[in-house]
């Protein structure tokens, strides 16, 4: 059907609302309570527009003297979010209607009556729809001369969410999210009129596994993250489009970094993967990117250089026949890393490749997957090349029986569960490529620091078979140039010069992506590794690096690979 | 711990049948709970309502807190609700309120220590023709004068 917005005709299908059509054709209509992932509430009144439908006579649409349809305008502005479009409907937004412009000013003046206007100390400032809409559509000032009402502040709604009732504009996005998406109706609006605010039932908490999404969808600073409060202003951080590696869902995220430290992770919209949401566990898993890191290679606890480390690696793996070496590949590392590991050790004659299972619990109704490792699907693609994978159990018994004497662990922690100290003493040498300090790094002979997913570029394949990229959000000590190009930069990073104190990055780790450690001069970038592996793996033959983009691409469902037992 | 009586559970089932969704039955069921619980809604009573209707307690407290006639605090045996809307005010509701305040030694919204009276100010009782008016529990006392109030208190205090 044909509809007209601001005198421009658009062709639309189905029964969309005015707001849906407007956002699709690029007409901005300000709003607070509307969210594409939630039911329509229509309570904030910010999206008011004028709307009218053609007058129907006995012979169809009535025309005026100029031959244009006569429009019956609604007597008052209407909410764009809750009004469905119909054939020939005409809409005037603030761009063409004085009435709408005035209405928006009025709505904002009312919303701001009891809003504390504490933007200078508010975490939301800089990414606040209320701030932005007030700047663009709001009145010049307020005519409200009385004391603003006072409401509860610093309310701990749950383990992760802090609430400030004075900032709240009662859009009920959080209430609807809890009910409709998280399926945990823990929030409600209590009391009435200007005294109302969001609350849980007394003695109960907002503690569902998706509770922190309410922070993202809150259009003001009423709901803030307990972990991120007062850590940084939004504009001080760089944001890098990446994916979450907390489980095999592969939710799209933005990684927010200040001074080379990850401060928060927020979901990024991707309709085929995670829509607008992510779970709290994935969101809070970033501490391991900053803390407890392996920095610089070491041999038996002594720091060594990267050249010495490379020599030690070939010494240790050359000290026994290749059949006695086991290599643990990692579903936490990128496809490129695993490909490089398997190629490298396969060329040396190694036949025992091990893959651990990280399944725990079961899939839930929304995003959380039972498989807690992000890249098992990539290992499945590499299974044929590796000649099949041993399980953790098979590895343990092969070590006990003395068949395997050197263990290479890539971004895994075998001594944190699968293997014991008895196994350690049965092994001649242990080599660990690791991002973080753990039981394996403390008992390994050679420790090679690996870049985390927030410092490397590479691909992951999620449970649905969608190939997606992680991008470097933090820099490393010896930054590979191909990574540097992709690293997200904040305004501070871009405009700083070397004498600015705040431009000196801290938390810089001396680590490298595993493919870079192993390949020597063979590959210059992750892209090169990828183009090599795309040629070798049939499932990726038609995939090009640039095509993956920020949204990922769905791979053809792979045929079940044959498992080869060594 | 609050739990509905057998008879009230039957009443609740009847209420539920009247509406297409259970959400619609929240208000009558809250009313039943309030009557059973001595004219106020404790947190347990609200949870019991949520329980019988299979709704979240948060949703039910949202409804209960919206309406002032659901008492979220315990009230006295007699809940004196004096109307102070325009017709009653024009006919001397403020005088009645001050008189009651002095007589009962209470400010608005309080309950006497013996638990006999709770005294509150309410919006229009719809009794403008017989203003000033007051509601004692579910009964209307109309055309109030200070003498009439004294008489009433004497009666109730027996």
Please, what are the domains in chain B? 6-66 (1.10.10), 78-156 (3.40.30.10)
Q: For residue range A405-456, list pLDDT tens digits in order.
A: 999 999 999 999 889 999 999 999 999 999 999 999 999 999 999 999 999 9
A151 CB neighbours in chain B (<8 A) are none
- Residue of B47, B57, B65 lying closest to A191 (CB–CB): B65
Say yes or no: domain A119-225 is CATH 3.90.550.10: no
- Judged by a CB distance cut-off of 8 A, whether residue B65 touches chain A is yes
Candidates B62, B63, B70, partner chain A, best to mutate (most A CBs within 10 A): B62
Decide: A3 and A12 in contact? Cβ < 8 Å. yes
B92: closest CA of chain A, how far (Å): 28
Give the least confident one: A67-71, A243-247, A506-510, B153-157.
Answer: A506-510
* Block residue for tokens 């001595």: B38
Residue A564 has pLDDT above 50, yes or no: no
- Residue of B43, B47, B61 lying closest to A190 (CB–CB): B61
Contact B57 A189 (CB under 8 A): no
Residue extent(s) of CATH 3.30.70.20 domains in chain A = 119-225
Report how far apart the first and last C-alpha atoms of chain A are (Å, whole number): 64
- Residue of B61, B66, B67 lying closest to A201 (CB–CB): B61
Residue A217 has pLDDT above 90, yes or no: yes
Residue A565 has pLDDT above 50, yes or no: no
Q: Enumerate chain A positions whose Cβ falls within 8 A of a Cβ in B.
A: 179, 185-192, 199-204
More confident residue, A503 or A471: A471
A192 CB neighbours in chain B (<8 A) are 65-67
Distances in whole angstroms, Cα of residue A544 to Cα of each of A66, A233, A407, A455, A540: 56, 37, 34, 22, 8
> Which pLDDT does position B12 carry in this prediction?
96
Residue extent(s) of CATH 3.40.50.740 domains in chain A = 298-455+511-554
Instruction: For residues A235 and A104, give the distance between their C-alpha atoms in angstroms, rounded to a whole number.
Output: 27
Arithmetic mean of pLDDT, A239-245? 94
A482, containing H or E segment:
helix A481-484
Geometric angle at alpha carbon A350, from A348 and A353, rounded to 5°: 135
Q: Tell me the pLDDT band of A306, cut-offs 50, 70 and 90.
A: very high
Geometric angle at alpha carbon B82, from B80 and B83, rounded to 5°: 150
Q: Which residues does residue A553 pair with via DSSP β-bridges, in sequence order?
A: A467
* Block residue for tokens 């979220």: B72
> Which pLDDT does position B107 carry in this prediction?
87
B56 CB neighbours in chain A (<8 A) are 179, 185-186, 188, 201
Q: Is A431 helix (H, G, I), strand (E, B) or coil?
A: strand
Give Cβ neighbours of residue A47 (< 8 Å, ≥ 6 apart). Answer: A18, A19, A29, A30, A31, A34, A79, A80, A81
Candidates A185, A191, A197, A205, partner chain B, best to mutate (most B CBs within 10 A): A185
A123: closest CA of chain B, how far (Å): 27
Q: Tell me the pLDDT band of A556, cut-offs 50, 70 and 90.
A: confident
Arithmetic mean of pLDDT, B8-24? 95
Q: For residue range A314-332, list pLDDT tens digits in order.
A: 999 998 999 999 999 999 9
Instruction: For residues A477 and A454, give the distance between their C-alpha atoms in angstroms, rounded to a whole number.
Output: 14
Angle between helices B43-53 and B57-66 in degrees, nearest 10: 120
Decide: A353 and A392 in contact? Cβ < 8 Å. no
Q: Which has the closest alpha carbon to A46: A127, A137, A115?
A: A137
A174: closest CA of chain B, how far (Å): 13
Residue A35 has pLDDT above 60, yes or no: yes
Give Cβ neighbours of residue A56 (< 8 Å, ≥ 6 apart). Answer: A62
Q: Closest residue of B to A196, CA-based?
A: B66
A203 CB neighbours in chain B (<8 A) are 43
DSSP secondary structure letters along A338-377: HHHHHHHHHHTT--EEE----B-S---SSS--SB--TTHH
Q: Tell me the pLDDT band of A503, cut-offs 50, 70 and 90.
A: low
Structure-block tokens of residue A251 = 């939710």
> Which pLDDT does position A86 carry in this prediction?
94
Arithmetic mean of pLDDT, B135-150? 93
Q: For residue range A133-142, list pLDDT tens digits in order.
A: 999 999 988 8
Instruction: For residues B39 and A548, give the distance between their C-alpha atoms in angstroms, rounded to a whole number.
Output: 64
Residue A566 has pLDDT above 50, yes or no: no
Decide: A566 and A388 in contact? Cβ < 8 Å. yes
A199 CB neighbours in chain B (<8 A) are 58, 61
Q: Supply the mean pLDDT for chain A.
A: 91
Arithmetic mean of pLDDT, A348-358? 93
A185 CB neighbours in chain B (<8 A) are 55-56, 58-59
Distances in whole angstroms, Cα of residue A177 to Cα of each of A44, A182, B64: 16, 6, 21
Decide: A329 and A376 in contact? Cβ < 8 Å. no
Query: What CATH class does A298-455+511-554 carry?
Result: alpha beta
Count of other CB atoms within 10 angstroms of residue A143: 7
> Which pLDDT does position A227 carry in this prediction?
94
Q: Which has the closest alpha carbon to A444: A465, A428, A457?
A: A428
Strand A446-449 and strand A429-434: the pairing is parallel
Backbone angles phi, psi at A172, to 5 degrees: 65, 20
Contact A188 B59 (CB under 8 A): yes
B39: closest CA of chain A, how far (Å): 19
Instruction: For residues B25 and B23, give the distance between their C-alpha atoms in angstroms, rounded to a whole number.
Output: 5
More confident residue, A560 or A531: A531
Show the 3-state SS of A56-124: EECCEECECCCCCECEEECCCCEECCCCECCCCCEEECCCCCHHHHHHHHHHHHHHCCCCCCCHHHCCC
A190 CB neighbours in chain B (<8 A) are 61-62, 65-66
What percent of chain A is predicted at pLDDT more than 70?
96
Q: Tell me the pLDDT band of A480, cut-offs 50, 70 and 90.
A: confident
More confident residue, A111 or A501: A111
Residue A492 has pLDDT above 80, yes or no: no
Q: What is the ipTM of this complex?
A: 0.86
For residue B132, whether the previous peptide bond is cis, meaning omega lies within 30 degrees of 0, is yes
Count of other CB atoms within 10 angstroms of residue A361: 11
Arithmetic mean of pLDDT, A246-254? 94
> Looking at chain B from residue 115 to 144, which residues have their Cβ under 8 Å from any Cβ of chain A?
none
Domain A2-111: give its CATH code: 3.10.20.740
What percent of chain A is predicted at pLDDT more than 90?
83
Q: Tell me the pLDDT band of A478, cut-offs 50, 70 and 90.
A: confident
Contact B56 A190 (CB under 8 A): no
Q: For residue range A175-215, list pLDDT tens digits in order.
A: 999 999 999 999 999 999 999 999 999 999 999 999 999 99
> Which pLDDT does position A505 carry in this prediction?
67
Residue A560 has pLDDT above 60, yes or no: no
Count of other CB atoms within 10 angstroms of residue A383: 19
> Which pLDDT does position A167 carry in this prediction?
95
């Amino acid at each position: 059907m044909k509809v007209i917005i601001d005198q421009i005709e658009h062709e639309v299908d189905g029964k969309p609302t005015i707001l849906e059509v407007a956002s699709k054709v690029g007409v901005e209509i300000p709003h607070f309570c509307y969210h594409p992932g939630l039911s329509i509430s229509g309570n904030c009144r910010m999206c008011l527009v004028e709307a009218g439908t053609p007058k129907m006579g006995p012979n169809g649409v009535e025309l005026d003297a100029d031959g244009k349809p006569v429009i019956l305008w609604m007597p008052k502005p209407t909410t764009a979010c809750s009004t469905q479009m119909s054939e020939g409907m005409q809409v005037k937004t603030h761009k063409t209607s004085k009435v709408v412009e005035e209405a928006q000013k009025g709505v904002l003046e009312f919303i701001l009556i009891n809003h504390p206007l504490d933007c200078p100390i508010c975490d939301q400032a800089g990414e606040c729809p209320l701030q932005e809409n007030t700047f663009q559509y709001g009145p010049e000032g307020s005519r409200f001369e009385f004391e603003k009402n006072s409401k509860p502040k610093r309310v701990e709604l749950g383990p992760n969410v802090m609430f400030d009732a004075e900032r709240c504009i009662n859009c009920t996005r959080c209430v609807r999210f809890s009910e409709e998406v998280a399926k945990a109706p823990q929030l409600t609006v209590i009391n009435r009129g200007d005294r109302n605010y969001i609350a849980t039932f007394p003695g109960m908490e907002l503690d569902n596994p998706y509770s922190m999404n309410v922070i993202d969808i809150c259009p003001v600073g009423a709901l803030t993250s307990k972990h991120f409060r007062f850590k940084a202003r939004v504009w001080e951080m760089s944001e890098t489009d990446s994916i979450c590696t907390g489980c095999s869902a592969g939710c799209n995220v933005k990684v927010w970094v200040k001074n080379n430290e990850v401060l928060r992770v927020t979901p990024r919209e991707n309709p085929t993967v995670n829509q607008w949401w992510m779970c709290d566990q994935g969101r809070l898993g970033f501490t391991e990117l900053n803390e407890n890191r392996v920095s610089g290679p070491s041999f038996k606890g002594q720091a060594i250089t990267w050249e010495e480390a490379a020599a030690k690696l070939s010494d240790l793996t050359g000290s026994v026949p290749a059949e006695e070496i086991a290599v643990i590949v990692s579903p936490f590392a990128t496809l490129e890393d695993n490909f490089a590991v398997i190629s490298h050790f396969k060329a040396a004659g190694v036949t025992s490749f091990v893959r651990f299972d990280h399944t725990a619990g079961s899939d839930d109704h929304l995003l959380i997957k039972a498989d807690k490792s992000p890249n098992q699907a990539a290992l499945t693609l590499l299974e044929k090349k590796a000649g099949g994978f041993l399980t953790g159990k098979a590895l343990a018994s092969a070590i006990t029986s003395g068949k395997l004497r050197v263990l290479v662990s890539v971004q895994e922690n075998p001594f944190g569960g699968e293997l014991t100290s008895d196994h350690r003493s049965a092994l001649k040498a242990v080599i660990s490529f690791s991002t973080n300090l753990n039981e394996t790094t403390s008992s390994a002979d050679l420790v090679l620091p690996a870049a985390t997913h927030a410092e490397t570029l590479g691909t992951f394949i999620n449970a649905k078979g969608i190939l997606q990229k992680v991008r470097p959000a933090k820099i490393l000590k010896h930054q590979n140039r191909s990574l540097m190009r992709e690293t997200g930069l904040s305004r501070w990073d871009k405009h700083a010069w070397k004498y600015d104190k705040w431009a000196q990055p801290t938390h810089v780790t001396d680590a490298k992506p595993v493919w870079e450690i192993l390949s020597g001069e063979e590959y210059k970038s992750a892209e090169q590794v990828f183009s090599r592996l795309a040629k070798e793996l049939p499932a990726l033959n038609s995939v090009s690096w640039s095509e993956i983009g920020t949204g990922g691409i769905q791979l053809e469902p792979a045929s079940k690979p044959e498992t080869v037992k060594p | 711990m609050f739990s509905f009586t057998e008879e009230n559970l039957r009443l609740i089932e009847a209420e539920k049948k009247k509406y297409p969704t259970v959400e619609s039955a929240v208000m009558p069921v809250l009313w039943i709970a309030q009557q059973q619980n001595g004219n106020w809604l404790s947190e347990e009573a609200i949870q019991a309502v949520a329980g019988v209707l299979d709704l979240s307690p948060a949703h039910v407290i949202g409804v209960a807190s919206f309406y002032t006639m659901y008492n979220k605090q315990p009230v006295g045996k007699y809940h004196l609700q004096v109307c102070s809307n325009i017709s009653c005010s024009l006919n001397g509701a403020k005088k009645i309120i001050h008189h009651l305040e002095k007589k009962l030694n209470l400010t608005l919204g309080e309950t006497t220590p013996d638990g006999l009276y709770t005294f509150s100010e309410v919006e229009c009782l719809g009794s403008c023709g017989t203003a000033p008016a007051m509601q004692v529990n579910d009964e209307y006392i109309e055309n109030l004068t200070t003498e009439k109030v004294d008489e009433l208190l004497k009666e109730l205090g027996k």
